[in-house]
Each structure stands twice: as C-alpha cells, then as structure tokens.
Structure 1
Amino acid sequence: MQDQAQNPGQTIPPSAKLDPTRPTVARVYDASLGGKDNYEVDRQVFELVKQVAPHQGDVSWMNRRFLVRAVRYLTEIVGMDQFLDLGSGLPTVQNTHEVAQFSNPDARVVYVDNDPICNAHGRALLEENENTRFVEADLTKPQDVLTHPEITRHLELDRPLVLMQIGTLHHVSDEEDPVAVMRAYVDALPSGSYVAMTHFWDPAAENPEWSRHAHELESKLHEAGLGSGFWRERAQIEKLFVGLELLEPGLVRLDDWWPAGPRTREAWPEENLMLGGVAVKR
C-alpha cells in the first residue's frame, strides 16, 4: 500500500496506525492475488508460505472464484440484494460489490474489516459508489458489528441478507470460539438469509497425506509471523454453519461448488485444503 504522499487524493485518518514492519492478513492476501497494496514484509510472508505451498497464489484465486460464483448465484438466482461481507480485506478485483451490482445495480454491500488501512483505502476506492460502504469493526464481536450505525443505516437488518465469511474464520482461534461467533450472527439473521463461507481444511483421516501438508502450511504461516491461520477438520467447519441448512452440493472443495466448467488441470495439493459452502436460514 502506498502512503498518502504517493496518493495525495486519499485521506488516511490519524487513527489509521500504519506499521510497514508487521505483516497483516489483508495485505498478505493481496500479495497472493498479485495486488499492489502490500509491503515487502507481506511479500516475505507470502514467499515463506510458498516454500511449503508454491501454488498458494492459485488458492487465493480459487477462493475468489468461489466468491464470484456464490454472489452471482445469490444475486441472480435467489434474488438477494443485501450483502454483509466480514473480514473483507482490501477491495481487490472481482469483489462482492462488483459481482452483485453487475447483476443488480441496486444491491447494497457493506464491507467490514478491523484493519484501519484497509478501511481508509476501501473508502477512497468506493467514494462514488452510493450502494457500498466500508466499516471498521471486528468480526469476532457480532453485537458491535450488527449495531454499528453505518451498517444499520445502509442495510435493512430486519429482512433477508447474505453474510459473507470468505477466508475469515480460519484466522479466528479456538480460544476466540468461532462457533459462538457464528451462532450470534445466525441468531440475528432474519429467516431467508444466507451465509457463504470458505475455510482452510485439515482432511485428517479422510486423506492423511493432504493432512500432513495442511499441518506444514499451518506451521509455516505461524513461523512467518502472521500469528493466525488454522486448518480445521470437516466436522469443525460444519459446526460453523450452526442453525443453517447447507445447499447442494454441501461443504466441498472450492472448485467443486457449482464449477463454471470442467477442470482444465489437476488440482495443486494446496488447492485441496479449503472447503466452502452456502447455507440458508429457514
């Protein structure tokens, strides 16, 4: 990410404390997508991860393809027009608002992230988009998110909406109780709402070789100094859909969720280590 001197039109608030010596999840993810809003320290973390998972950049794009397909389905087929995208990071190419508003220009989107730099950058990019907002809040505090005045002004929380948890909850530790976090969100959602989620997967006994690779990846991510990244077993991920009904084809590897076409190559090993799904609150 460039500083304000390089971007004179972008106003970074004083509260946005920037430390270019410490990596962040959002900027490392941006680096993995080939973005420009990251620092050398973020690229170094990504290079360390690539020592174990040389195709981790492909994993990030696989995650983005899932987001695109899920949002298109929910907008075009289901008719959803409200999206609350949690832990969204930097608003890079083909993000939620671009996909939803391509199908429905009136679709409303609120991005939520606790990184003040993401929010400053996101607000600058979305300044002229009246149907999209960027809010600084912590996704692990559902009450704070759901009562945030910018969110309650922009979204009608008493009618169905889509809650996005794309690549977020695998950065929430067991001590922070991600199941309880999701239960609080789901309890607050009106019936007819949807949740789209992706999560790092430890196949465990389903595939011991893949599981070994997942543990190597988790160790490398923590060694690199990012401080979070947890590969969970299928049953643990399923619990995150508490109170919801998974749509077909269920909780699957990302490119197996209503793929856009046949595979053009075999999946890289690291591409097998994420699961995703879309669920509805009846």
Structure 2
Amino acid sequence: MIESIEVWAYEQGPVKSALVATIFTWLMTAMGASIVFFFKTIRRSVFDTMLGFTGGVMIAASFWSLLTPALEYAKEIHPGLHWAPVAGGFLLGGLFIFLLDRLLPHLHINFSKSESEGIPTNWHKSTLLLLAITLHNIPEGLAIGMLFGTAALNLDQATLTAAIALTIGIGIQNLPEGMAVAMPLRRNGASRTKSFMFGQLSAMVEPIAGVVGALAVVYMKNILPYALAFSAGAMIYVVVEEVIPETQRDKYTDLAVLGFMLGFTIMMILDVGIG
C-alpha cells in the first residue's frame, strides 16, 4: 500500500503530491467535525484526551519528521556549523506563530470569550474558535509540503515514505481537531450543519500552506534546513502555547497526558517504523 502511494507521489511531483496529501488531512478534519451529526455533546474527559493526543503527534512530528532531517542536511551545506541554520529556523518558526497569535483575533477551545487573544474584536465566539484551530493547521500544512518538496530533491535525509508517514500522522490528529471546533459550537446551540461547516473550515488553510511549503523547498534548495526547522518551531509553539494549556483547565489532566503520550508514540512509530 505504502509502496503504491510512493510510486504515485513520485509520478505526480512534489507540489501536486503535497496538495493531495493536505486535502487528505483536510478531509480527516471534516470527518472529525461530522460527529456533530450524531452527538450534541462529548465528555470533557474524552475531549481533553483527544487534545493531548494532538499535542503528542505534533511534538513527535517536529522532532523525527522535521528537525532530524534538517540537522542531517545542514551537515552537508554547513559542515561544522550545522546547528546554526536549524536553530535559527526553529526560533523563526516560533516567532512567526507568536506574531500571528498577537495579531489574529482567536479564542482557545476551553476558554471563555473574555479570554480571547489577538487584536480586540467583536467577532462571534464561533469565528474566534475557528481562527484558533486555523493557527494550528498552518504549520502542519507547511510541514507536509516541505517534506514532499525535500523528498523530490532525492536527499538521503528525507523520503516520500517519510512524507507519507507525516501525512498519516497529521491526518489522524486532525480528527480530534475537527471535533474540537464543531462540538463546542453544537453544544452552544449552533445547528449541526453550521457546526460541521465551521469544524472543517479550520483545515482549509492546510492545502494552501502545503503547496507553499513544497514550492519554497523545491525552488530554494539552500533554505531547506531553515524551512524544516521553521515548521518544527511553529508546531512546538502551537503545542506549548495553545494545545497543552487547553487540556489543563479541568480535572482530566492525567488523561490528557496519557493521550499526549499515545499520540507521541503513534507518530514515532509511523516515522521511524514506516518513514
């Protein structure tokens, strides 16, 4: 199965492959959001566990899928100083999300509207929730696109299998992200259709970010270590600043940690065992 996907991706090229891969992760978000057609509420314990799972996947992907190949490739173009572009790209990725976090109005999932962040606005709570999850999805789309772009350069440090493994991992963790937007809206009285539409809309940015990431790597090969580390830094910032705090506001923190560990383990297996 994986070999067949690899052959197809090789034939299609990095940009088209990245587009299809991120459309898949978008559809996984939509699948998660579709739960509102069957349930109106979800237990907070399950909710926090799923958010923890999301954080675990993102942390593991940041290390094995992005930082490790970035360091290996940097050794070839910056021998003796290979840590510098990776460290710089990592910090820039975090700074990029920090600036978006300060500027873009948004609301974390388990927070009240009075705790919204970014430029003050009178936007509806559902819109703010949507923008918060959209922030999560920007670095995810970039990471997938950059890894497909890296694989197209025929480097030993990155393969199509690794890009596919990352896509599967991000897709799995997008299921709870879709629920994370849709379920609170449904619980607060929004219709099933509106809740679903907002839930899946949060991942629309992934195909755009995926194509941008693939193009950046393919046409600017020398920025590869910076680009991969940039995506890793962006994802780490999202996890530490948004995902983890959202799981620590109720009595189910232990379940959130177990979810985190499960997500981390599954992504590690995908990347090391398959990628």
Q: TM-score scaled to structure 2, two decimals? A: 0.27
Which structure carries more relative contact order (alpha carbon 8 Å, separation 6+)?
2
More helix by share: 2
| Larger fraction in strand | 1
TM-score (norm 1): 0.26
